[in-house]
A and B are shown apart, each in its own frame.
Chain A
Amino acid sequence: MKKVVTLVLILVMTVGMVTGCGKSDTKDTTKGDSSDIKVGIIYIGDENEGYTAAHMDGIKEMMNTLGLSKNQVIEKTNIAEDESCYDAIVDLADQGCNIIFANSFGYETYMMQAAGEYPDIQFCHATGYQAKSSGLANMHNYFTAVYESRYVSGVVAGLKLNDMIKNGTITADQAKMGYVGAYNYAEVVSGYTSFYLGARSVCPSVTMEVQYTNSWGDMAAENEVAKQLIADKCVLISQHADTTGAPTACEEANIPCVGYNVDMTSVAPGTALTSATINWGPYYIYAVKSIIDKTAIATDWCQGFADGAVSISPLNDKAVAPGTADEVAKVEASLKDGSLKVFDTSKFTVQGSKIEDLITKDEKFSKYSAYVSDGYFHESEVISAPAFDLRIDGITELTK
């Protein structure tokens, strides 16, 4: 059955691509000539895996917007993070690609190797952090301010908790959320902290427990960890892991949940509130357009709501608290105009103190002085990859 669904999906996608290309001729608004541009991409997964699927959607959006035909884009899927990714990258270079993207963290050193050997080709690596320090002019990193969309999804979660408190389902003290994390890396810490801060901005009594699966995508482990968190009296579950394991457990236990990357209503129609998602399209359009226009690509690129690079999936009306849509619109607007900062230092404490005080008093925290100024933590501004790895008060990590 799954195979049939996959086949149908592939067919739909192929048709989508063909018709997309047909339309693109009239849409071409670029000033440069895009007909001799060739784009290569290597993916860690394929269309069946949420993270890569999001990148593939971004590439499709770029092709439609810039009017690239199907044979101008070469996609390589399921490339392992070893020498095969170097082989794949240089093969794309040999095939005449002008710009090559790679979507997984472990590709970075291989891509830098290739970037050194092909100085005329632009190399763009998602989620990495070494482009700036590599000294290679043709090496770039990109990421999105996904912490903004996590913050908004946290607001949705907080409103749901308020609703549950109002209905008498739980008391204010019982408002404890559970978070299924992948690894204890900054990317995950930054994500769960912004989610938590979003929830606490509307529900002041909320606390959160985090447990790691030590895998980016492990359906069984995520399902199991979610069940443990629910048994530990968590009344709402969110995740930073790639599969539908956690929402499946939540639907069984009738516990509201917030997903990541993809809309979870297919597996949790009654309990999935929304998902924090990334739109990679804006970056792919920006980078390829830079090639066409012969302008430089930023070494580090990271954008959020303001550029449409992040969003939350449509709210599930069956599950969210009444009035959520209005509140979300308000929060998104203030993130866009910059009046709201996710990591506002007046909104969280570390070991009972404000981070500014810790930086001056405690040597261990002095390294954060590069990030903290003007009353907020400048996440993803120094380099595009997430850097916020402070453990703030209110959140407990069950595993390290």
Chain B
Amino acid sequence: MSKEAANKEVFLRMTKRDSISKRKAWAIRGIAVVLSLILCALIIVALTNDNPFQVYLGIIDGAVGRKRRFWVTVRETMVLLIIAVGLTPAFKMRFWNIGAEGQILMGGTATAAMMIYFGNAMPNWLLLLVIFIVSSLAGMLWGLLPAVFKAYYNTNETLFTLMLNYVAMQIVTFCIVFWENPAGSNTVGIINGATRKGWFRNIFGQQYVLNVIIVLIMTLAVYLYMKHSKQGYEIAVVGESQNTAKYAGINVKKVIIRTMMISGGICGLAGSIIVSGASHTISTSTAGGRGFTAIIVAWMSKFNPVAMLLVSAFLVFMQQGSIQIASQYGLNENASDIITGILLFFLIGCEFFINYKVEFRKSKKEVQ
């Protein structure tokens, strides 16, 4: 390499930051949110020719403008939050669990099966209790499989969990054949629509209060488990370095299997909250990609429960809002996916600027 080339300073220089103040990091994230909102506004304005403030009022109206819309937003936020909470232990352990979709579907399928076959066999509170247990077990099984193979044969958990998503989808498709209602629709329809067996009951006259209670309890429980229990500490050590863990006398195999059972179990429970507490049906779209969105929620929040709640709420808010925009301005419903995509792009992209410093080339004299 010539001397000249070696001395030439690049126009942009990116260096990894050693540390960044909390305030600065949040400022960068704040700027990213503002920029993403501006870009969304520009795109919506280009499509609708309305002024951006009207458009944002439409989003607010769509997300929380009416009592029911507010509760739907809350319901969806809670679902996203509990999945992110469920993923937290696995990711803390650096176990790349991208199988939440499958774990949710298994939990949901177990829930639907309970509602269909045992709807009249027991009182509703008992049925719900059974549903919570069975759906958690189903999710647990779906988390256990890749964990055992990872622990004993060191298989790639990313591919394994991903593959199990497709297996779960096929199981749902298979069950739909038996549960189809009405015949010929290829869907299950509302389960126990008349009797409401296995449905969450209203609390304080609101349909989704029980969802909120369960999810918040689980969030708190996982937070305490991760922060203040011995097992939680073991997970963190295994995640940092398996060799260190072994040296410290931690049974790594056991931790991997136990942690994935917890992770899968919570995702399975999320499936029951979706089926019993919201949709009252099962289909291959029951998880609806939320198992993947929750990964982003968990990582972006650095596994902080309050941050996870805020990020989930923000994403769902924009999604519900853009559904309203779509029907208000005659746009396709895909508009909502576009908006979510833009938000995620900015929110994930800004992490780069938190981890790296970007410097421009300084004047030539300094280079010499």
Contact = CB atoms under 8 A, between A and B. Distances in A.
15 contacts: A75-B330, A76-B333, A78-B332, A78-B333, A82-B281, A82-B283, A83-B281, A86-B190, A94-B68, A105-B184, A106-B189, A109-B189, A183-B186, A186-B184, A187-B184
A193 B327 CA distance: 39
B334 interface: yes
B281 A87 contact: no
Interface string B250-284: 00000000000000000000000000001111010
B54 interface: no
B94 interface: no
B16 interface: no
Nearest to B184: A185
B290 to A, nearest CB: 13
B187 interface: yes
Interface residues of B, number: 26
B68 A81 contact: no
A79 interface: yes
Contacts of B279: 82-83
B193 A112 contact: yes
Interface residues of A, number: 31
Interface string A69-111: 0000011111111110011001100100000000001101110
Interface in B305-342: 326-327, 330, 332-334
Contact of B334 (A76, A78, A91, A185): A78
A283 interface: no
B190, B285, B326, most chain A CB atoms within 10 A = B190
A386 B184 CA distance: 12
B182 A113 contact: no
A81 B327 contact: no
B69 interface: yes
B310 to A, nearest CB: 23
B327 A110 contact: no
B332 A74 contact: no
A77 B332 contact: yes
A130 interface: yes
A14 interface: yes
Contacts of A305: none
Question: By DSSP majority rule, is chain B's interface helix, strand, loop, or mixed?
Answer: loop
Nearest to A87: B72
Given A87-B72, A91-B68, A94-B66, A109 B184 contact: no
A110 B143 CA distance: 33
Contacts of B72: 87
A86 B285 CA distance: 15
A326 B327 CA distance: 45
Contact of A81 (B187, B278, B334): B187
Contacts of B66: 91, 94
Q: Which among A83, A86, A105 has the greatest number of chain B C-beta atoms within 10 A?
A: A83
Interface in B63-107: 66, 68-69, 72
Given A78-B334, A94-B66, A113-B190, A83 B185 contact: no
Contacts of A76: 326-327, 333
B320 to A, nearest CB: 9
A192 interface: no
Interface string A339-350: 000000000000
A46 to B, nearest CB: 6
A281 to B, nearest CB: 19
Contacts of A130: 182
Contacts of A82: 187, 279, 281, 283, 285-286
B120 interface: no
A88 to B, nearest CB: 8
Contacts of A87: 72
A129 interface: yes
A112 to B, nearest CB: 7
Interface in A109-136: 109-110, 112-113, 128-130
A136 B285 CA distance: 29
